[in-house]
Amino acid sequence: MKVSYFPGCTLRTKAKDLDKYARDSALALGVTMEEPDNWQCCGGVFTTSRDEIATKLSSVRALMDAKSKDQILVTVCSACHNVIKQTNHAMQTDEEFASRVNNYIAPENYNGEARVMHYLELLRDEIGFDKVKEKVVNSLSGKKIAAYYGCLLLRPNSVMKMDDPENPSIIEDLITALGGEAVVYPQRNECCGGYIALENPEAAKTRSNTVTASAANAGAEMIVTACPLCKYNLEKNGSEIPVVYFTELLAEALGVK
Amino acid sequence: MQRIGVFVCWCGSNIAGTVDVQAVSDALAHEPGVVHSANYQYMCSQAGQNLIKEAIEEHKLTGIVVCSCSPRMHEATFRKTAAAAGLNPYMVEIANIREQCSWVHKDMATGTEKAIILGKAAVAKVNLNAPLTPGESPVTKRALVIGGGIAGIQTALDIADAGFPVDIVETKPTIGGKMAQLDKTFPTLDCAACILTPKMVDVAQNENIRIFSYSEVTDIKGFVGNFDVTIKKRARYVKEDICTGCGLCTEKCPMKNVPNEFNLGMDNRRAIYIPFAQAVPKVATIDPEHCNMLKNGKCGVCAKVCAAGAIDYKQQDEYISEKYGAIVAATGFNPISMDKFDEYAYSQSKDVITSLEFERLTNAAGPSSGHLVCPSDGRHPHTIVFVQCVGSRCASCSEKGKEYCSKICCMYTAKHAMLTRDKYPDTEVYVFYIDVRTPGKNFDEFYRRAAEEYGVKYIKGMVGKVSPENGKLHVQASDLLADKQLHIEADLVVLAAAIEPDKSARPLATMLTASMDTNDFFTEAHPKLRPVESPTAGVFLSGACQGPKDIPETVSQAGAAAAKVIGLLAKDKLTGNPCVANSNELMCNGCSSCERVCPYGAITYVDKEFRMPDRTTKVRRVASVNEAVCQGCGACTVACPSGAMDLKGFATKQIIAEVDAICK
């Protein structure tokens, strides 16, 4: 199986682990991930100002590339996934936005035909957690692992359509498939404070510490996340337990780390 | 040739503000057949109607066109006016120049032009109108009430008191509905059972009322005054007429772990059960999903202990056919599911409950015998947080909630909070609200008492998250007036879940051809002036199936619906609608297209002898319309491939003439 893969800039710099282990694990599961030629930064944030299209054009180009190859566009970074999925949704549903973008990219035309998936959705819906389980060589048995979703991965639910943002299970199900023990704790879907880290570092620190304390309090030995900003923020603010990317855990269990 | 009079109404400034009424009456005066054209300030007033009557007599009019408001508003008025002047009422046509013209246009020139066109179309139609005479049909003097909650009970009692027989169909094993599950009622705090159960007994003892409990309506045919209804009486495996309601079987049944729906699953019942002590009818019912005897033929304990010999494992569903003159929908409401509101951790903690569950927890006959306890471990809660508008007024989250206000939550939450503080003064009680809405007699005084005398902490703001942590519920909320984030360690969180119509309402509406709004509440015939009638003749609305309502309002509406039913059943004959389908037998080729599309079953086929041009006779199969059943919807006229089917008063050539007049 071949999929289109949009790594995003952070995965080329700060989050190389997230990227490397995602590729290696995909190969072990029989999935080849192909990058679009000359992809550009997703913009980092899906701006809600309706007249802002420039920052969304790189997402549109990646989507068009996936459409032309008839492949699913897979992302692994929470932020890239959010921006690209929201852009695709806007291209499908917001006529004015779509026509402005199409004027810009003419003579080409795009109306949201490509399918966007987070890497976790690829594992769950295309490969299947049961198949992943079969490929496990180093079971994570005995490890108490807390899934951290953050604010961005599942929201807004009406667009992401990935899992219930108030009571999710997709990462817990993956942890269970890999043989680990998923620890459910109340703060797993709350914000780490990442977006206010520069403006109000104290508030960000309080948020991060609340999250990590909640996980540790529930008995977790480590936290896994899909978001580079979450990982950076939780670690910088002194998490008492290690924070790793879920792809690293996956690679470890599949024996490709 | 017709002699047509045109009457243009100003409707004060409603029409005259955007339409040049003088120009309209001048322009229409020259249309074919028009012999008189006038305009007047209020055509529907006594003076306006007299103007029409005088013109009919003076100009010997054979048809009239009134350019005014929607025919839904005053068509009946002007038909009566015409009839009073000796004109056939079906020679009246309305050109709607208000809703479809003056109200939607701003420019006088275009408004006037359109009004003239609409008037011309109506004149073209009247030119082809023929006098129609409505038929009469008898009225079956029996009413059907669907739903046995307080709405259905009150409607049935009022109809029965007027001397008409009534049947109540209730899906549950007992009547009583939601009110039977409530503890106290606002704003007077009398106990719900104390005021409801005597009414339930009245229903049981009233010789004009029959109760079909554990039953449902499966088919409705016919029309106002003459409904044919099929009721499915589900097998309860207990002979209703023999069971004494002693309850011994419900104590001896070995299946002890069936979730008790009356207590919302907070405790268990047996596989054979009586929902509650005051149930009506007080007979046992076997739940076939959980009964061992019915599932695999092993057990039979209830039959052994029943002294009356009422148990019948072989009982079958029974279908009953009955005729009714009027049908009342009283299907009620349910709280919405909390599955999609996991920010309040309803699925994650037993100590997060809905308000209806709170009612059962504080009810002496409830799962905790009326002691307010945390369902998780039975401890006494010291801090209780009430969250209002969970799923109500949820415009931005329509995929999980409702856009409307559920109306009853502010008052029952005030009641819960007040009663808790009264009985357990050591508890801290918070109520989070968007707005507190308490319009109603003695309602605001009640809420103020909760806040001011009983010390309930009302906080404007919503709860963002409830997290079960260390055996407590961590509640994070915003206090909008103090502009603060609050963190409360609560023992119990109570969610005021939005209410929605019962799921049985939609299929019932389809059977009744009664209309519903987008939220599946039944639509009333007029939102202000006909609030208890459905637009479908003979169908009436009682209680929360029409919109969220508290008990006082439900009882008022239930009585009003009963009054309308009594008014209908008191008539011996009903005048029908003469605008019905009519088949031209010479053109009909017997294809059955019309029969297939008719939603009322009004079309049948008959074999008829026809004399052919060569003087032989031939038997052909042709459509025949039952005029008493036909509702004049016109579906058959569209389906008919040979053009044989036509609608009286709306004949194809009349419609074409209107279109031609508009396009000319």
Which DSSP string do the residues of B346-379 spell out, in sequence order?
Answer: TTT-TTEEEHHHHHHHHSTTSTTTT----TTT-P
CATH topology of B4-126 equal to that of B581-648? no
Contact A15, A228 (CB under 8 A): yes
* Angle at which helices B150-161 and B551-569 cross, to 10°: 40
Answer yes or no: do B474 and A186 touch at CB < 8 A: yes
Q: Which residues in A lie closer than 8 A to residue B340 (C-beta atoms)?
A: 164
Identify the pLDDT of residue B336.
96
Round to whole Å and give the CA distance between B466 and B413: 19
How large is the average pLDDT for residues B263-279?
96
Q: Is the pLDDT of residue B403 over 90?
A: yes
Q: Is the pLDDT of residue B84 over 90?
A: yes
Chain A CB within 8 Å of residue B468 CB? yes
Closest CA to B539 of B563, B564, B574: B564
Answer yes or no: do A166 and B347 touch at CB < 8 A: no
How large is the average pLDDT for residues B419-433?
97
Identify the pLDDT of residue B479.
97
Report which DSSP code applies to B381: P
Q: Are strands B166-169 and B143-146 parallel, antiparallel or unpaired?
A: parallel
Helix (H, G, I), strand (E, B) or coil at B62: coil
* Angle at which helices B355-362 and B409-423 cross, to 10°: 30
Answer yes or no: do B347 and A167 touch at CB < 8 A: yes
Identify the pLDDT of residue B31.
94
Structure tokens at B105: 């246009």
Structure tokens at A123: 């594992």
Question: B475: nearest CA in chain A?
Answer: A186
Chain B CB within 8 Å of residue A201 CB? no
Alpha carbon B298 to its chain's center: 44
Q: Which residues in B lie closer than 8 A to residue A214 (C-beta atoms)?
A: 467, 469
Answer yes or no: do A186 and B340 touch at CB < 8 A: no
Helix (H, G, I), strand (E, B) or coil at A239: coil
Q: Which residues in A lie closer than 8 A to residue B474 (C-beta atoms)?
A: 186
User: Mean of the per-residue pLDDT values for chain B?
Assistant: 95
| Per-residue buried b or exposed e for B630-647, using 16+ beta carbons within 10 Å of the residue's own CB | bbbbbbbbebbeeebbbb
Domain boundaries, chain A: 2-120, 136-254
Answer yes or no: do B465 and A217 touch at CB < 8 A: no
Q: Which residues have C-beta within 8 Å of that of residue A1, sequence separation ≥ 6?
A: A30, A31, A32, A126
Chain B CB within 8 Å of residue A187 CB? yes
Only one residue has tokens 């049985």, namely B504
Q: Are strands A2-6 and A73-75 parallel, antiparallel or unpaired?
A: parallel
CATH class of B4-126: alpha beta
Radius of gyration in angstroms for the set of CA atoms belonging to chain B, rounded to a whole number: 31
Closest CA to B217 of B141, B333, B327, B335: B327
B498-525: pLDDT as tens digits: 999 999 999 999 999 899 999 999 999 8
| Per-residue buried b or exposed e for B134-171, using 16+ beta carbons within 10 Å of the residue's own CB | eeebebbbbbbbbbbbbbbbbbbbbbbebebbbbbbbb
> Which CATH fold would you assign to the domain A2-120?
Glutathione S-transferase Yfyf (Class Pi); Chain A, domain 2 (1.20.1050)
Answer yes or no: do A214 and B469 touch at CB < 8 A: yes
Q: Which residues have C-beta within 8 Å of that of residue B424, sequence separation ≥ 6?
A: B372, B380
Q: Which helix (H) or strand (E) holds B658?
A: helix B652-663
Cα distances from B599 to residues A19, B290, B397, in angstroms, run 62, 40, 36
Q: Integer distance in angstroms from the first to the last C-alpha of chain B?
A: 21
Round to whole Å and give the CA distance between B505 and B407: 20
Chain A CB within 8 Å of residue B474 CB? yes
Question: Closest approach of chain B CAs to the CA of A253, in angstroms?
Answer: 30
Answer yes or no: do B342 and A167 touch at CB < 8 A: yes
Phi, psi of B200 (to 5 degrees): -60, -40
DSSP β-bridge partners for residue A118: A75
Chain A CB within 8 Å of residue B347 CB? yes
Answer yes or no: do A158 and B399 touch at CB < 8 A: yes
Q: For residue A147, which amino acid is it?
A: A
Identify the pLDDT of residue B613.
87
Identify the pLDDT of residue B160.
98
B478-492: pLDDT as tens digits: 999 999 999 999 999
How large is the average pLDDT for residues B306-318?
96
Contact B354, B497 (CB under 8 A): yes
Phi, psi of B84 (to 5 degrees): -65, -30
Query: Residue B384 — very low, low, confident or very high, per pLDDT cuts 50/70/90?
Result: very high
Chain B CB within 8 Å of residue A188 CB? no
Q: How many CB atoms lie within 10 A of CB A180?
A: 22
Question: Closest approach of chain B CAs to the CA of A189, in angstroms?
Answer: 10
Q: Which residues have C-beta within 8 Å of that of residue A187, sequence separation ≥ 6?
A: A210, A211, A214, A215, B467
Q: Which of B340, B399, B469 sits opposite A186 (nearest CB)?
A: B469
B180-214: pLDDT as tens digits: 999 999 999 999 999 999 999 999 999 999 999 99
- Tell which wins on pLDDT, A44 or B579: B579
Q: Which residues in A lie closer than 8 A to residue B469 (C-beta atoms)?
A: 186, 214, 217
Answer yes or no: do A187 and B467 touch at CB < 8 A: yes
Among 3.40.50.11810, 3.90.1150.10, 3.40.50.300, 3.40.50.2300, what is the CATH number of A136-254?
Answer: 3.40.50.11810
Contact A98, A112 (CB under 8 A): yes
Among 3.80.30.10, 3.40.50.620, 3.30.70.3270, 1.10.260.40, what is the CATH number of B581-648?
Answer: 3.30.70.3270
Cα distances from B400 to residues B118, B339, B341, B395, B504, in angstroms, run 44, 9, 8, 10, 20
Answer yes or no: do B342 and A187 touch at CB < 8 A: no
Identify the pLDDT of residue B27.
96
Query: Residue B399 — very low, low, confident or very high, per pLDDT cuts 50/70/90?
Result: confident
- CATH homologous superfamily of B143-234+317-332+505-569 equals FAD/NAD(P)-binding domain (3.50.50.60)
Chain A CB within 8 Å of residue B464 CB? no
Contact B499, B531 (CB under 8 A): no
Per-residue model confidence as pLDDT tens for chain A (257 residues): 999 999 999 999 989 989 999 999 999 999 999 999 889 999 888 888 777 888 899 999 999 999 999 999 999 999 999 999 999 999 999 999 999 999 998 899 999 999 999 999 999 999 999 999 999 999 999 999 999 999 999 999 999 999 999 999 999 999 999 999 999 999 999 999 988 989 999 999 999 999 999 999 999 999 999 999 999 999 999 999 999 999 999 999 999 98
| Per-residue buried b or exposed e for B436-456, using 16+ beta carbons within 10 Å of the residue's own CB | bbbebeebbebbeebbeebeb
Q: Which residues have C-beta within 8 Å of that of residue B215, sequence separation ≥ 6?
A: B169, B170, B171, B231, B232, B233, B234
Identify the pLDDT of residue A44.
84
| Per-residue buried b or exposed e for B464-502, using 16+ beta carbons within 10 Å of the residue's own CB | ebbbbbeebbbbbbbeeeeeeebebebbbbbbbbbbbbb
Question: Rounded to 5 degrees, what angle do the CA atoms A39, A43, A49 make?
Answer: 135
Round to whole Å and give the CA distance between A2 and A5: 9
Identify the pLDDT of residue B470.
87
Chain A CB within 8 Å of residue B620 CB? no
| Per-residue buried b or exposed e for B392-418, using 16+ beta carbons within 10 Å of the residue's own CB | bbbeeeeebbbebbbbbbbbbbbbbbb
Question: Rounded to 5 degrees, what angle do the CA atoms B544, B346, A239 make?
Answer: 150
B334-500 has CATH 3.20.20.70 classification: no
B525-554: pLDDT as tens digits: 888 989 999 988 899 999 999 999 999 999
Round to whole Å and give the CA distance between B403 and B395: 5
Round to whole Å and give the CA distance between B34 and B19: 21
Q: Which helix (H) or strand (E) holds B473?
A: strand B472-479
How many interchain CB pairs under 8 A, A with B? Answer: 22
Cα distances from B547 to residues A12, A109, B330, B439, B504, in angstroms, run 57, 47, 11, 16, 15
Structure tokens at B500: 């929605």
Chain B CB within 8 Å of residue A176 CB? no
